Structure 1
């Protein structure tokens, strides 16, 4: 799904009436991994693939939420030189660890992996990705769960493979993040889209 948002849809949410699109802001817009925006895009894609009652209105509301999230993201990008962010090798190590099966890593484990203190890691990650490392870990686990739900694995197997204490704790976390249970999500993925 390609989602184009007109500048006016973003600017209307900003106090100063618009964004000065500096090179730094344009560069930051090329790879937005903020969990709120990612969740909006995934929800929008799901709605487009599997429309239901009120789909057009719901898609418009999700797009408006996305515009607000983009406005907040762009407003938060400072104008000074990029500093305090993590190097690409550290970000790569974090991603590799997050995509391993089993319980999610602790902040201490990730900090040791990057040879940083937890405080340095926390600040550097936010400067690099625009979100907290905790939000990113949670979103990565949900994304992994969605991929596993497209396989024949049982929900119980998926829950334990992703390091959840029980299938019910997995279902709770998944529903809180996506608005549907793992079973509902799987059923929507498997049901063919309605064509009338």
Structure 2
């Protein structure tokens, strides 16, 4: 069947309507965008892939969500793109983090994305969740730690496969649709390999006991100034060096990076509420607002004042 015949095929037409509901972007966001162009798009067995361009002259906040049967992969084709902060509205704590050049959004997520002024050219891939779930005995549990990692992937086989999809979409050849479906299957395997073994129930040799991880989370998210690494080590009855090594083995990220993530998660809602930057800095334990501004910008690419200005 040719591409023209596919466009007239009633089954494919119905499938496009279904795919359009897999990811929902709040319409108000498009009203704030200066330019939007959808370059290429192709639907295939197991999902769809699309290249799109945006540009905007002021900070833009959008709310978008994934359906219960859709994985969304978003890769910036021009580097990391404008700095942005993603707030997970599905989480009871409205957990926030920065989004990297390559991001994976699992099914059933609702996100608020605040982007600094700029432009972006990106490829977006939608995957049917059944491609992944067919490999798993149980549905994966996407807790905050995994989501933080998923929102900021880099390199590896997942990015390579997305870029192969981009090449196939940019220069279609014999059996392009079948090739994209094959890449989608490979993506499903790579996502399972990367994230399935890092479930909450998994406790690897050299990692941390669940009760210690829970103590860390409880202390970091308490309504007190952020603790330093020495306090966290004492809380877990470990040396700083042992704690740092065990935490990285268990979670795949450094304890310092995790503490920085928590800082952003706790600061963002306060800034959105309009609290002065000096007050937010004090609540988080910074000795000066300048130190807080530097830490926040280093973590997110945005100044605290830009969060307030967007509201």
Q: TM-score if structure 1 supplies the norm length?
A: 0.62
Distance in 1, Cα, partners of 2:157 & 2:281: 32
Deviation at 1:180, TM superposition (A): 1.5
Q: 2:303 maps to what in 1?
A: 181
Q: Which one of 98, 105, 117 corresponds to residue 39 of structure 1?
A: 98
* 2:220 is equivalent to residue 155 of structure 1: no
* Partner SS, residue 5 of structure 1: strand
1:74-120 per-position Cα deviation (integer Å, ceiling 9, x unaligned): 39x89xx8211111111111011111344432222212211222232
Q: Whose relative contact order is higher, 1 or 2, with alpha carbons under 8 Å and at least 6 apart? A: 1
Distance in 1, Cα, partners of 2:210 & 2:280: 30
Q: Which one of 88, 95, 104 corresponds to residue 217 of structure 2?
A: 95
Contact kept, 8 Å, 1:98 with 1:104, in 2: the verdict is yes
1:163-195 per-position Cα deviation (integer Å, ceiling 9, x unaligned): 11111111111112111211111212x1xxxxx
Q: 2:136 maps to what in 1?
A: none
Return 5+ residue gaps in structure 2 as ranges.
1-64, 76-96, 104-110, 125-149, 160-192
* 2:124 is equivalent to residue 4 of structure 1: no
RMSD: 3.7
Distance in 2, Cα, partners of 1:129 & 1:70: 20
Q: 2:194 maps to what in 1?
A: 74
Structure with the larger strand share: 2
Q: 1:104 maps to what in 2?
A: 226
Q: Which one of 226, 239, 243 corresponds to residue 117 of structure 1?
A: 239
Larger-Rg structure: 2
Return 5+ residue gaps in structure 1 as ranges.
10-37, 191-196
Q: 1:129 to 1:183 in 2, by over 3 A?
A: same
Q: TM-score if structure 2 supplies the norm length?
A: 0.41
Deviation at 1:153, TM superposition (A): 1.8
1:117-166 per-position Cα deviation (integer Å, ceiling 9, x unaligned): 22321121111111111111111111111121122321111111111111
* Partner SS, residue 260 of structure 2: helix
Distance in 2, Cα, partners of 1:115 & 1:65: 31
Distance in 1, Cα, partners of 2:153 & 2:217: 24
* 2:293 is equivalent to residue 171 of structure 1: yes
* 2:268 is equivalent to residue 146 of structure 1: yes
Distance in 1, Cα, partners of 2:157 & 2:270: 29
Distance in 2, Cα, partners of 1:149 & 1:170: 12
